[in-house]
Amino acid sequence: MAHIKLKNEELPGIVGLLNYRPETARPLLDLAETLLRGESTLTSGEREIIAASVSYWNQCHFCHTSHAAAAVAHLKSGINLIDDIKAGLPNTPVSDKLRALLHIAHQVQRNGKNVTDDDIAAAREEGATDAEIHDTVLIAAAFCMFNRYVDGLGTWAPGPNEAYLEMGERMAHVGYGKY
C-alpha cells in the first residue's frame, strides 16, 4: 500500500501518482516524452537503456523494469535485455559511445559532482556530442527524481519482467501522457 491514499490503488508505480496529482503529472510526462522520445541523435532505445540502468542503480524495480521493457520494444531485442541491463549489458551489442555515456549516467546517479573531465573526454573520444552529453546527464538526473518519487511514496509494482512487456510497448510506441 502506498504511503498516501491514491484515487486508484490498482495503478502501479508512477501511474497511480500521476493520476493522483494531475497538476504535477503534466510537466513530469512532458519531460519524459521530450527526453526519451523527442528529437535526438541518440535512439529512443539507447535513451531507455540509460533510464533503465539509472533506475536499477537506484533500486527502483518499477522504473527499471518498465523502462527496460520500453527498450525491449524499441530495439525488438527480446525480454532478456531487461536482466542484461542489470548486469551491465554483457550480452547486448551496444556502441562504445553508449557505454561511455552510461558511465557518465552512473556518476550522475551518485552525485552530479562525480562527473569528471576525464569522463567527458572519454565520451567525446567515442564521438559523443554536447547535446548527447547534456541529455545523458539530464536523463540520469531525471530518473534520480522519478525513482525517489515512486519509492518515496511506497507505491506497489508488479514482480515479474513479463508483466511489463505490454506497458513497455505503450511507452515506446504510444508515448508518455498519451492514451
Partner 1 sequence: MPHINLPSEFPGIRSLFMYRPETAAPLNHLVQTLLHDPHPTLSAGERELIATYVSRLNTCKYCSNIHGAIAKHQLGGDGELVELVLADPDTAPISTQLKALLKIAAKVQAGGKQVNADDIAAAREAGATDVELHDTVLIAAAFCMYNRYVDGLATWQPDDAELYDKMGKQRASEGYMTAPFKVNRTEQQLQNS
Residues that bind partner 1 (CB under 8 A): 3-5, 17, 20-21, 23-24, 26-28, 30-31, 34-35, 38-39, 58-60, 104, 107-109, 111-113, 115, 117, 120, 130-131, 133-135, 137-138, 140-142, 144-154
Instruction: State in angstroms the smallest separation of the CB of 176 from partner 1.
Output: 11
Instruction: State in angstroms the smallest separation of the CB of 115 from partner 1.
Output: 5
For residue 122, how many other CB atoms are within 10 A of its CB? 18
Give 12 or 169: the residue with its C-beta nearer to partner 1: 12
Give 3 or 76: the residue with its C-beta nearer to partner 1: 3
Give 77 or 147: the residue with its C-beta nearer to partner 1: 147
Give 60 or 82: the residue with its C-beta nearer to partner 1: 60
Q: CA nearest 51: which of 157, 123, 175, 143?
A: 143
For residue 173, how many other CB atoms are within 10 A of its CB? 12
Instruction: State in angstroms the smallest separation of the CB of 20 from partner 1.
Output: 7
Radius of gyration over alpha carbons of the chain, in Å?
A: 16
Give 85 or 157: the residue with its C-beta nearer to partner 1: 157
Instruction: State in angstroms the smallest separation of the CB of 77 from partner 1.
Output: 27
Instruction: State in angstroms the smallest separation of the CB of 125 from partner 1.
Output: 14
- Per-residue burial over 8-44, b if 16 or more Cβ lie within 10 Å, else e, is eeebbbbbbbbebeeeebeebbebbeebbbeebebeb
d(CA 168, CA 8): 21
